[in-house]
C-alpha cells in the first residue's frame, strides 16, 4: 500500500487517458470556433452564495455536494469549489457588464468541476466539463442551435449512438401552479414514498420526477406532466424549438420527467445519453434555458441557455468501445555508437525539436544495439545513428519500418525527417 493516494472520488489522468481528454478538448475547441463561442475562464472557487443563490439551496448539488472551503483569514467570505460553470459565468457576465456587448454573448469553458458526491463508476468528486453558454437570446432558434452543437460533439468525438432527451419545464408563469399540483399528487401517495423523497416533497417536489428510486416508478408514470400544463408562451416556445430541431434533422425523444437538478432552469431542458443507458444516472451531458439566472445574480433580466457535457463519461465510453487512441510515437530516436556521448545525442535532438520535429534522444548509456531496440519498441519511424567520432557530421538514417539504412549529412537531417513526416501524415 502506498503512503499517499489521490483523494477518494478523484483520480490521476495518466498519459493514455489524458490524451483522450486532450482529443475531446480539441474537438470541443474546434466546435466552439465553428459555432462562434469564445473561451473564457472563471475561478475554480467562488463565493458560495453565487452557487447557493444561482443553483438553489434545495438542490442536491448545493445541499449535499457543494465543496465548501473553510476561510483561513478574516476576509469573512465563504467560498466553495465550483460544482458547475454556468453560475460563475453568469456572475462574470453581470460583474463585467457584458450586457453592453453585442448579444447574445456566446462563451465556452473547459475545466474541472467539483461535487462532494458518493463516488462510483462515472461519478467523481472532480470531473471535467465542456460548458457552452449563450446569454442574451430568448430563443427558440438558439436553443436548437445549441442542442445540435452538443449532439455534434458526441459524433465528432466518436460516439455515434447518443440519444437526445427533451422537455420544457415552463417558466415563472406556469411552473408554480404545476409544482403545487405535483406536490399535491405525491402528497396523496406520501405513504409510498421513501424517507428521502418525502423530505424532497416539501423542499423541491420536481426532484421526485427524476428520482431513480425504483419504488417510485409507478407513481412517476402517472404523475401530472409539465408539458400538458405549459402557459401559451412556453408552449409556443417549445413547439418552435422542436420545429427548429426537425428542420435540422435532429432526432429527440420527449421526456416529461426530465426536470434537471438545478433551480435556475426555465423552458427548454435536455440531456444526452448513450442509447440503452437513458434510464440510469449516466447522462453524458445536459443543459437548458435559464431566463431568470442573470437577474437572480444581480443583473438585468436577461435570457440565457447553455449546456455542460461531462468529458469523463465520454472518455470512459470511448475507452470501453476501444476508440481511445494510444501514444504518438516519436518520428525519430537519436542513438549513438558511443554510449557515453549523451551530450552529442541530446544536442542533435534539441536542434531537431527547435525545428518542430518530434524526436527523442536515447540518453541512456546502453550499447547501440540496445538503443536501437528501444527505438523500435517506441514505434519510431527512424533511428538516427551517430557514428563513433563523427565530428564531420556523418550520420546513418535507419528506416525502422522499411528496414533500410543509408548515410546522411547532419545538415540534411531536418529536411529529410520533415519530408518523411509530411508524407507519413498525408500518405
Ligand atoms: P449536470 O450539470 O449535473 O447535468 O452535469 C452535466 C454533465 O456533467 C453530466 O451529464 C455528466 O456527464 C457530468 N457530471 C456531472 N456530475 C458528475 C460527476 N460527479 N462525475 C462525473 N461526471 C459528472
Mind listing the pLDDT tens digit for each residue in 304-327? 999 999 999 999 988 877 666 666
Cβ atoms 314, 24 nearer than 8 A: yes
Ligand 1 pocket mutation pick from 125, 281, 283, 309 by most atoms within 8 angstroms of CB: 283
Ligand 1 pocket mutation pick from 284, 308, 316 by most atoms within 8 angstroms of CB: 308
Q: What is the pLDDT of residue 404?
A: 94
- Protein residue with least CA distance to atom 17, ligand 1: 123
Q: What is the DSSP string of 68-107?
A: EE---STT---EEE-S-SHHHHHHHHHHTTGGGSSSSEEE
- Protein residue with least CA distance to atom 8, ligand 1: 310
Distance CA 82, CA 71 (A): 16
Q: Which CATH number fits the domain 15-174+230-320, given the four candidates 3.20.190.10, 3.30.930.10, 3.40.50.2000, 3.40.50.11310?
A: 3.30.930.10
| Domain map (residue ranges) of the chain | 15-174+230-320, 332-423
Q: What is the pLDDT of residue 280?
A: 63
Q: What is the pLDDT of residue 393?
A: 64
Distance CA 52, CA 87 (A): 9
Distance CA 303, CA 93 (A): 12
Does any ligand 1 atom lie closer than 6 A to the CB of residue 123?
yes
Does any ligand 1 atom lie closer than 6 A to the CB of residue 307?
no
Cβ atoms 382, 420 nearer than 8 A: yes
Does any ligand 1 atom lie closer than 6 A to the CB of residue 11?
no
Distance CA 71, CA 89 (A): 23
| Residue of 386, 400, 395, 392 whose CA lies nearest to 413 | 395
Cβ atoms 417, 334 nearer than 8 A: no
Q: What is the DSSP string of 148-197?
A: HHHHHHHHHHT---EEEEEEE---TTTHHHHHHHHHHHHHHTGGGS-HHH
Ligand 1 pocket mutation pick from 55, 81, 129, 159 by most atoms within 8 angstroms of CB: 129
CB atoms within 10 A of CB 148: 17
Distance CA 226, CA 166 (A): 12
- Protein residue with least CA distance to atom 1, ligand 1: 286
Asked if the bond preceding 140 is cis, omega within 30° of 0, the reply is yes
| Rg of the chain over all Cα atoms, to the nearest angstrom | 28
Ligand 1 centroid – CA 84 distance (Å): 9
Does any ligand 1 atom lie closer than 6 A to the CB of residue 84?
yes
Ligand 1 centroid – CA 285 distance (Å): 7
Q: Which atom of ligand 1 has the smallest separation from the CA of 84? A: 2
Task: Enter the C-alpha cell of residue 336.
Answer: 549513438
Cβ atoms 171, 340 nearer than 8 A: no
Does any ligand 1 atom lie closer than 6 A to the CB of residue 286?
yes
How far, in Å, are 235, 352, 358, 403, 420 from residue 425 at the CA level?
A: 52, 18, 13, 20, 9
Distance CA 408, CA 164 (A): 57
Q: What is the pLDDT of residue 427?
A: 46
- Protein residue with least CA distance to atom 21, ligand 1: 123
Does any ligand 1 atom lie closer than 6 A to the CB of residue 60?
no
Q: How many CA atoms lie within 13 A of 267 on its CB side?
A: 28
Distance CA 263, CA 175 (A): 11
Extract the residue ranges of the chain whose pLDDT is less than 50.
426-427
Does any ligand 1 atom lie closer than 6 A to the CB of residue 244?
no
Q: Which CATH number fits the domain 332-423, given the four candidates 3.40.50.800, 3.60.15.10, 3.40.50.10490, 3.40.50.300?
A: 3.40.50.800
Ligand 1 centroid – CA 310 distance (Å): 5
DSSP strand pairing (253-254 vs 266-274)? unpaired
Instruction: Give the pTM.
Output: 0.89
Ligand 1 centroid – CA 308 distance (Å): 8
Q: What is the pLDDT of residue 194?
A: 84
Cβ atoms 223, 181 nearer than 8 A: no
Task: Enter the C-alpha cell of residue 185.
Answer: 399528487
Ligand 1 centroid – CA 127 distance (Å): 8
Ligand 1 centroid – CA 330 distance (Å): 35
Q: What is the pLDDT of residue 380?
A: 95
Distance CA 371, CA 338 (A): 11
Amino acid at each position: 500500500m502506498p503512503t499517499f493516494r489521490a483523494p477518494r472520488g478523484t483520480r490521476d489522468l495518466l498519459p493514455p487517458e489524458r490524451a483522450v481528454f486532450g482529443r475531446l478538448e480539441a474537438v470541443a475547441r474546434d466546435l466552439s470556433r465553428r459555432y462562434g463561442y469564445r473561451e473564457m475562464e472563471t475561478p475554480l472557487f467562488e463565493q458560495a452564495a453565487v452557487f447557493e443563490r444561482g443553483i438553489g439551496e434545495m438542490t442536491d448539488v448545493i445541499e449535499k455536494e457543494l465543496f465548501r472551503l473553510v476561510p483561513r483569514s478574516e476576509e469573512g467570505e465563504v467560498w466553495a469549489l465550483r460544482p458547475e460553470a454556468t453560475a460563475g459565468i453568469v456572475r462574470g457576465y453581470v460583474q463585467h457588464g457584458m450586457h453592453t456587448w453585442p448579444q447574445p454573448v456566446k462563451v465556452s469553458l473547459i475545466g474541472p468541476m467539483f461535487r462532494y458526491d458518493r463516488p462510483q463508476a462515472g461519478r467523481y468528486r472532480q470531473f471535467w466539463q465542456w460548458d457552452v453558454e449563450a446569454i442574451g437570446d430568448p430563443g427558440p432558434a438558439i436553443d436548437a442551435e445549441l442542442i445540435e452543437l452538443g449532439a455534434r460533439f458526441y459524433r465528432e468525438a466518436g460516439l455515434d449512438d447518443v440519444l437526445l432527451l427533451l422537455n420544457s419545464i415552463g417558466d415563472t408563469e406556469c411552473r408554480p401552479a404545476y409544482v403545487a399540483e405535483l406536490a399535491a399528487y405525491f402528497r396523496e401517495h406520501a405513504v409510498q414514498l421513501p424517507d428521502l423523497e418525502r423530505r424532497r416533497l416539501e423542499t423541491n417536489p420536481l426532484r421526485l420526477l427524476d428520482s431513480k428510486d425504483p419504488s417510485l416508478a409507478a407513481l412517476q408514470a402517472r404523475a401530472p406532466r409539465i408539458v400538458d400544463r405549459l402557459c401559451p408562451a412556453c408552449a409556443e416556445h417549445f413547439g418552435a424549438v422542436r420545429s427548429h430541431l426537425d428542420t435540422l434533422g435532429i432526432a429527440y425523444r420527449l421526456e416529461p420527467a426530465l426536470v434537471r437538478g438545478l433551480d435556475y432552469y426555465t423552458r427548454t431542458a435536455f440531456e444526452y445519453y448513450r442509447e440503452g443507458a437513458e434510464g440510469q444516472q449516466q447522462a453524458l451531458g445536459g443543459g437548458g434555458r435559464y431566463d431568470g439566472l442573470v437577474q437572480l445574480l444581480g443583473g438585468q433580466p436577461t435570457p440565457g441557455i447553455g449546456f455542460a457535457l461531462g468529458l469523463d463519461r465520454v472518455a470512459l465510453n470511448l475507452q470501453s468501445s476501444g476508440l481511445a487512441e494510444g501514444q504518438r510515437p516519436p518520428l525519430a530516436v537519436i542513438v549513438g555508437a558511443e554510449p557515453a556521448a549523451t551530450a552529442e545525442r541530446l544536442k542533435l535532438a534539441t536542434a531537431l525539436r527547435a525545428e518542430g520535429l518530434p524526436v527523442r534522444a536515447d540518453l541512456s548509456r546502453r550499447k547501440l544495439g540496445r538503443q536501437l531496440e528501444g527505438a523500435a519498441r517506441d514505434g519510431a519511424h527512424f533511428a538516427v545513428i551517430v557514428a563513433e567520432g563523427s565530428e564531420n557530421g556523418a550520420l546513418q538514417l535507419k528506416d525502422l519500418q522499411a528496414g533500410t539504412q543509408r548515410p546522411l549529412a547532419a545538415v540534411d537531417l531536418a529536411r529529410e525527417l520533415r519530408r518523411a513526416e509530411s508524407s507519413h501524415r498525408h500518405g
